[in-house]
């Protein structure tokens, strides 16, 4: 038994980006990367610092 073709409840809610133009996020700038590194060094979070 399948989904009824004309049943509006079977389709579910529309997608969050329906009708919107969604693009890829821009990468971080070098200044932002250094700010993150500085913060992690200051907090002593070496495990997180290895990922940056």
**Mind listing the pLDDT tens digit for each residue in 31-48?**
999 999 999 998 888 888
**Mind listing the pLDDT tens digit for each residue in 1-18?**
566 667 766 677 888 888
Residue with tokens 């980006």: 17
Residues 6+ apart with CB under 8 A from 48: 40
Question: What pLDDT is recorded for position 27?
Answer: 92
Residue with tokens 């821009």: 26
- In the chain, domain spans: 27-52
Short-list 25, 26, 23, 48, CA closest to 37: 48
Question: What pLDDT is recorded for position 6?
Answer: 72
pTM (whole model) above 0.85: no
Decide if pLDDT at 29 tops 90.
yes
Give one DSSP letter per residue of 6-28, joined into a string: T-HHHH-SPPTTTT----PPPPP
Question: What pLDDT is recorded for position 33?
Answer: 92
């Amino acid at each position: 038994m399948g989904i009824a073709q004309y049943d509006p409840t079977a389709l579910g809610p529309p997608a969050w980006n329906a009708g919107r133009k969604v693009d890829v996020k821009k990468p971080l700038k070098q200044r932002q990367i250094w700010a993150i590194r500085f913060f992690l060094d200051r907090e002593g979070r070496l495990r997180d610092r290895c990922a940056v």
